[in-house]
Structure 1
Amino acid sequence: MKDCLVHAKTFARIAPRLKGLEDKLNMIVMDDNGVFSKASTGEVVTEPKPEIVFGTADAFWGPHVRTFMMAVVSGGRLDWFQSAAAGIENPAFVMIGKAANKFTTNHTQSEAMSEWALWQALDYFRHGPKHRAQQAAGVWDRLDSREIRGSKWLIVGFGSIGSSTGRRVMALGGQVTGVKRSQGLVEGADRIVHPDEVMAELPDADVVLVCVPHTPETEGIANADFFAAMKPDALFMNLGRGALVNEPDLMAALDAGRPGHAALDVASEEPLPQDNPLWTHPKITLTPHDSPQTHGTVIGADDTFIENLHRYFNGEPLKHLIDKSEFA
């Protein structure tokens, strides 16, 4: 029997789907007070030593995330960690990845995040801010707008988020150029170019979406030169990490009129301090890193865990398994 650790809220969702595995799993839950207990009896567990862990937003964003993470890595028996997130660059995930024999991720967030990108593009193309200002002022003034159809998108980083966004854009008649190191056409793109070609592609793009992982090579890739190469009426969006963007350069570029607008779901410092100028810049739409925070993402992550759980006990390959070398 394997000790499996989850947050209490997560367990409440997935418990009905664990039927038939009672003889294989000893479920341990952590509540919002940071207390661990056996799900079957309510008995308090003072030193959990989990072999399987399902790490979800219930734990990641809860008041005792550190307590949860320490239980994950300090037990010394961790065989498999299933993350509800797609990325692995967070230092906590690196620590867990080194401790676990198997680390799997979840890609359902990309669906919600790609809808965020479409929402921002449509709002910009359709003059959302100006229409809302006119409504507040009682002004009836028709505005000429743009469409996704015929627009040219440059998506820097063509993993699950980029591909998911590209599929939606193409379905609406947009043209998509994806940027990734490995070449060859992939779903959701009309063409693929190498990262070295980004600067040459920027002047032709109506929308530029950045969604690459944060690495030493990608830190600050969106800088003054990057923005200067964009169209004056282009939209810049960041769905990756805040460190990908030189924020002072972005604000200066917007003030200079190139690009036309920016939509950011991430920032270099999170939570963003109230006195940060990103909050009040008239050409920036800012959301608090909640693009993946949807009902569908939660259900999709649960689905991935349940499927992988059956694969685990059946000795089958796990979905979205990360190579151990990624945590070296």
Structure 2
Amino acid sequence: MKTLLLHARTFARIAPRLKGLNAALNIVTVDDAQRFHDAWTSTALETPPEVHLAFGNIDAFYSPSVREFMTAILKSPDFDWFQSAAAGIENPALVAIGQKAKRYTTNHTQAEAMAEWALWQALDFFRDGPGHRANQAIAKWERIRVREMNGSRWLIVGYGSIGQAVGKRVTALGGVVTGMRRTPGPAEGAARIAPPDALMAELPGADVVLLCPPHTPETEGMANAGFFAAMNPEALFLNLGRGALVDEAALMAALDAGRPAFAALDVTQIEPLPAESALWRHHKIVITPHDSSDTPGTIARGDETFLANLRHYLDNETLKHLVDRSAFVTG
């Protein structure tokens, strides 16, 4: 019988959906006190269990028991399948699990929440939220000329699940989206698709430039001094991808020089961002702590992805969002 490892909060949330699987699965949990239990009987386990499959989500990785969760997986001699709640795989912990697991699957449903982050930042920029808040702080009644989302031109670099989720929303509000990806052809939410080698030519015409490609040797540091110099001086720069995509010193220098106009970052090169970082205090930068996807909806959709793949696993069907093992080869 296979043993499934879940965080205790995850099990409590999805337990009704797991009933009836007792004959096929032994389910164990780990809680925030670093203790393992039989999921159904709540019996404490004296030693960490050997597990065959696990669901790694925010409950597990943001828990005080993350070390115990990871150790149980990495020390299990016959670990078969890991379902991640994340889309990316470059985190060192995920790479270690990917190297251990015979099968590794990802999740792309967090794109819905991340798309709302992009719209939030863009609407605040277009409607000059900082200016209005500054006036309110000093009780100053003064009209501010603002812009509309309608007619705005967006360049979304990395037009995958996140890019498309943003593109659909922007298009619905009257914006015009150019998606940038290697694969040609139409894509939902984009008026057109441009290839990556057209990046520098596309930058000047965009009112909003959003980065959401994965971190690869090709994309590392792509947003550099030349990139920012090519942007429209009235444009907004957004990063929902990875901090390593951006030369942060070049971004601050460019903002000081007036091109682009503003930036919002959900990811930074070093996370957590050190208190001494100048990014915190730059008056043209908004920082959020890599939490654009952290919503109840994202958690619920991640659960659904896991449960759907669990059914495929138990029925010996092909798992969705399966990552080739070669992606975890390092060095």
* Bucket of the pairwise TM-score, normalised by the shorter protein: over 0.9
Distance (Å, rounded) in 1 between the aligned partners of 2:26 and 2:273? 40
Query: Residues 259-310 of structure 1, C-alpha deviation per residue, up to 9 Å, x if partnerless?
Result: 0000000111111111111111000011000000001000000011111111
TM-score by length of 2: 0.97
Distance (Å, rounded) in 2 between the aligned partners of 1:109 and 1:295? 10
Distance (Å, rounded) in 1 between the aligned partners of 2:323 and 2:46? 30
Query: Residues 156-214 of structure 1, C-alpha deviation per residue, up to 9 Å, x if partnerless?
Result: 11111011111111111111111111111111211111111101100000000001111
| Amino acid in the other structure paired with 1:35 | R
Distance (Å, rounded) in 2 between the aligned partners of 1:197 and 1:60? 38
SS in 2 for 1:67: helix
Shift of residue 40, structure 1, vs aligned partner:
2.4
Distance (Å, rounded) in 2 between the aligned partners of 1:313 and 1:67? 26
The residue that corresponds to 1:29 in the other structure is 29
Distance (Å, rounded) in 2 between the aligned partners of 1:152 and 1:323? 36
The residue that corresponds to 2:7 in the other structure is 7
Distance (Å, rounded) in 2 between the aligned partners of 1:302 and 1:47? 24
Query: Residues 7-50 of structure 1, C-alpha deviation per residue, up to 9 Å, x if partnerless?
Result: 11111111111012121111111111222221123231513211
1:327 equivalent to 2:328? Answer: yes
5+ unaligned residues in a row in structure 2: which ranges? none
Q: How many residues in Structure 1 have an aligned counterpart in Structure 2? A: 328
Distance (Å, rounded) in 2 between the aligned partners of 1:82 and 1:252? 41
The residue that corresponds to 2:119 in the other structure is 118
1:254 equivalent to 2:280? Answer: no
Distance (Å, rounded) in 2 between the aligned partners of 1:45 and 1:119? 48
The residue that corresponds to 1:275 in the other structure is 276
The residue that corresponds to 1:128 in the other structure is 129
Distance (Å, rounded) in 2 between the aligned partners of 1:176 and 1:87? 24
| Amino acid in the other structure paired with 2:323 | I
The residue that corresponds to 1:180 in the other structure is 181
Distance (Å, rounded) in 2 between the aligned partners of 1:66 and 1:158? 34
The residue that corresponds to 1:38 in the other structure is 38
The residue that corresponds to 1:307 in the other structure is 308
SS in 1 for 2:197: helix
Contact 1:32–1:63, Cα closer than 8 Å, also in 2: yes
Contact 2:35–2:44, Cα closer than 8 Å, also in 1: no
Query: Residues 81-126 of structure 1, C-alpha deviation per residue, up to 9 Å, x if partnerless?
Result: 0011111111221221121121111111100001000000000000
Distance (Å, rounded) in 2 between the aligned partners of 1:67 and 1:2? 19
Distance (Å, rounded) in 1 between the aligned partners of 2:197 and 2:161? 21
| Amino acid in the other structure paired with 1:16 | P
Runs (4+) of structure 1 exceeding 3 A deviation are none
Distance (Å, rounded) in 1 between the aligned partners of 2:162 and 2:46? 39
Distance (Å, rounded) in 1 between the aligned partners of 2:22 and 2:65? 27
Distance (Å, rounded) in 2 between the aligned partners of 1:113 and 1:31? 28
**Identical-residue share of aligned pairs (%):** 62
TM-score by length of 1: 0.98
5+ unaligned residues in a row in structure 1: which ranges? none
1:224 equivalent to 2:225? Answer: yes
Distance (Å, rounded) in 1 between the aligned partners of 2:158 and 2:183? 11
| Amino acid in the other structure paired with 1:262 | A
The residue that corresponds to 2:59 in the other structure is 58
Over the residues paired in the alignment, what is the CA RMSD in angstroms?
1.1
Segment of structure 1 superposing worse, 195-204 or 62-71:
62-71
The alpha-carbon distance between structure 1 residues 45 and 78, as it changes in their structure 2 partners (threshold 3 A), is farther
The residue that corresponds to 1:286 in the other structure is 287
Contact 1:153–1:207, Cα closer than 8 Å, also in 2: yes
Distance (Å, rounded) in 2 between the aligned partners of 1:95 and 1:189? 36
The residue that corresponds to 1:242 in the other structure is 243
Distance (Å, rounded) in 2 between the aligned partners of 1:64 and 1:255? 43
Segment of structure 1 superposing worse, 44-53 or 108-117:
44-53
Segment of structure 1 superposing worse, 313-322 or 205-214:
313-322
| Amino acid in the other structure paired with 1:30 | V
